[in-house]
Structure 1
């Protein structure tokens, strides 16, 4: 799996390269600024881009904006964004096209190598990997008029864990439910959100995106 990595801190960038390579990823290019990221994404068209939100020269949201522009040029380009802090605007911009293959993690999560690598794989495969703190921030900004208001509290719990990228088995373990009960909750979520039958992975991603965008 080919990766383009953008991180301006040399030590963190080198550490991520070593971590990813040790798990079988190929680093197509590792860069430290926005213009270099733009060129690398256009040239390599990687399987996944891992991008720090704030990059030189602006140190604002340069990394995110370059990644979003690349997704317009390369539809569906998987992008995993790393940030020091949760910014609701950044999360919403990342989710805006509703195409999936996106992730938003706080840099602290990188310290857990296995979780980070799992998140990269999920995003590359078309799923989502949203940091629990990102989800909580979006939830706290939500209103009572959301179409998701039809979901029961338990269904919202299930959907929140789906947004983190957890499997049915992991959701069952976290909520002390059977896997069959989780499956029933997910089927009910699909129905209430009006998600027509398609492959389950696709509906799962669409449900998560609806949840995050409407929160």
Structure 2
């Protein structure tokens, strides 16, 4: 009678989990977190999504799952930025697209950002950059170990390609800013299936 090799099944399940984790690297949705524990009182969060030049191939940056943003009734929106549900959508149709919001320091501010846009296979495709900065109560003093060229704590560059596009990131202050990948629905499904498979294999091994 054939007896299943549960050790091999367990290893295959672990491999499935590893492969699903590898798939996260290509996700176009990223989770951004700002730890403001080292800062005091109140200040401002500044988010921008601007093309390197205009006109540029259309691209967008959608922020969702906002946490720590406080009261959004006084948020300042400039350029191609629109409120959408509980989040905001940035376009790159003008040269300056900005969200400026008063926040309380001492905790964490986080959101997901999803990039999308039209393809451009040319070598001269114009990039667009999503920038994240923090300012003091005066609204002008940049905080943290920011990039001296643009006062950003972190930034993401959207590069149009022959496909959907590619995103690269840069962090100037890793004590405040961090980035993690957000799995696409298919990745969550793979991850869930892998967890179930591991659980079944372990139960069968214990029962053998």
Scaled to the shorter chain, the TM-score interval is: under 0.3
Whose helix fraction is larger, Structure 1's or Structure 2's? 1
| Max Rg structure | 2
Q: TM-score, normalised by structure 2?
A: 0.24
Q: Larger RCO: Structure 1 or Structure 2 (Cα < 8 Å, ≥ 6 residues apart)?
A: 2
Q: TM-score, normalised by structure 1?
A: 0.24
